[in-house]
Structure 1
Amino acid sequence: MKRIFSILLCSIIVLAACDNNSESKEDKAKADSIAKETERKNKVQEAKDKVATDLEKLAPLTEEQIKALMPEMLGDVPLSDYSFSAAMGAPVASGEYKMTDSSSVILTISDCAGSGGAGLYNLQYAGQLEYNNENDIEYTKVIDFNGSKAIEYCRKTIVECSFTYFSGGRYLVLLEGKNIGADDLKKIGRELKVK
């Protein structure tokens, strides 16, 4: 009886040791995965910080310079309702292009130079690059666009989308569509020459 008990006890110890080893392998794999993801996020953050630091060193554009970036025509649709703002030290030009009576595109170009512009870059672009969300009403996703990242947002219940990307090493471009889908906004973005 003692012999059977000893064999049974040894078997339990061996099985427990084997199972414990597999748990430590799983734990090690999880830890490695977390470490790799942390390293990737740190590299991405360092790249964003470098861009923001470089932007702070640039002088912001004047109203005339940023207005020159706004196309007079978007396809065959003329620019209307132009506006300019330099709130918080970031020059921003905006204009509407009325495609039809019920559809339009608003183009906003922000100069991210200087400390105010770098803050705008961080808040409205860099800070959103890790954010993907979808529900029954809307979605936000980060996509590849012209060799960089862009932020696509659409409401699902109505055709209302926006598309944001960084261009020319200093410009934040926002296209907002009323009754214009995301694919059409991306097409417009590819045709824009904001550099």
Structure 2
Amino acid sequence: MAFGDSLTWGTDPVGGGRHAFADRWTSALAAGLGPQYAVIPEGLGGRTTVFDDHAAAFDRNGSKALPMLLATHSPLDLVIIMLGANDLKASISPSAHGALAGMGRLVEIVRSFPYRPQMPVPKVFVISPPHFRDCDNGEGPASGRIVAESHKLAAGYRQIAEANGCGFFDAATVATAHGSDGVHLDAQNTRAIGAALVEPVRAFLG
């Protein structure tokens, strides 16, 4: 299961709306892994790790949604988590510290969930999202995000992953945010994440 936000859902910053199914990184990952694997996409625009967004019309708190989704989709071999970009909104938790604490909590939720008897505790694979960038019009990233704080997530997420025996991947090594809003990805960069994850995920699953 791929648990994420609009980067997983497939928000299209160029044409608006949503990327075609084949262009979403979860679809690219599934295609690369082959038919013996099933990738379940669970992306929601605006989702945070553990923070409530009271300005939204629906619940975006990942720590509230994750237990329900673990129960819905079990048994799972792996939970991939790519979150944190929305934690860094100015109105939520603009420094990286909040996202790091939130990611640690999500890993804990996966590990401690009361799975049904005979069902495995899934492995966890943590992804740090692509860095923010200034927009083409000279403004900063959407919703008051700070570019420098997005650069801090990878090192922190890597430490969390290593401390908990999780897999880790830095999506900023293969994908760059689009200049329209400084946060979201065009189709090429979205697909690039899924393609780059194929071998690391296969190796991590053994």
TM-score, length-normalised on structure 1? 0.29
The structure where strand makes up a greater share of residues is 1
TM-score of the superposed pair, with normalisation by structure 2: 0.28
Larger-gyration structure (1/2)? 1
